[in-house]
Amino acid sequence: MIIDISTRRIQRYRRKGFILPAGAIYVGRPPPWTNPFAASRKAEARWGHAKSVILHKEWLAGHIGALTLENMGFHPAEIDALERRRCWVLTNLHRLAGHNLACWCPLSSEWCHAETLLAMAPLYAELDRYAA
């Protein structure tokens, strides 16, 4: 297993003059890399920021199924869309390997879905290498 410790999370800013570093990939809104459990202030108010990050990690790991999503208040069309999106993210996760990831979360925050993507990307890149 290869884990690239040189990649990191970068905080994106709205201030004038901020430029995303070369090679960094923005993983915030809009999709495809954003956390679907924190897609709006309404969702964050519902679950809170930390729980939305935990939900994202568990969702990518396949630990949250359709019944759980339904119990969380998602409609069948939303559940189908989430499953398609999860498949897309996992299929393309290898593309994030070796890149810094940028989002809006403060670097001091323990809770950020970019950290989950940073941890998973090298593993999926390794799997992709074996599949080729």
pTM: 0.81
Sign of CA dihedral 99, 105, 108, 113: negative
Instruction: Return d(Cα 90, Cα 52) in angstroms, integer.
Output: 18
Looking at residue 73, its amino acid is G
pLDDT tens per residue across span 57-77 = 999 999 999 999 999 888 999
Distance set, CA 94 to CA 9, 13, 32, 35, 129 (Å)? 16, 26, 14, 17, 9
pLDDT tens per residue across span 26-38 = 888 877 898 988 7
Instruction: Return d(Cα 46, Cα 111) in angstroms, integer.
Output: 16
Q: Residue 80 has what pLDDT?
A: 95
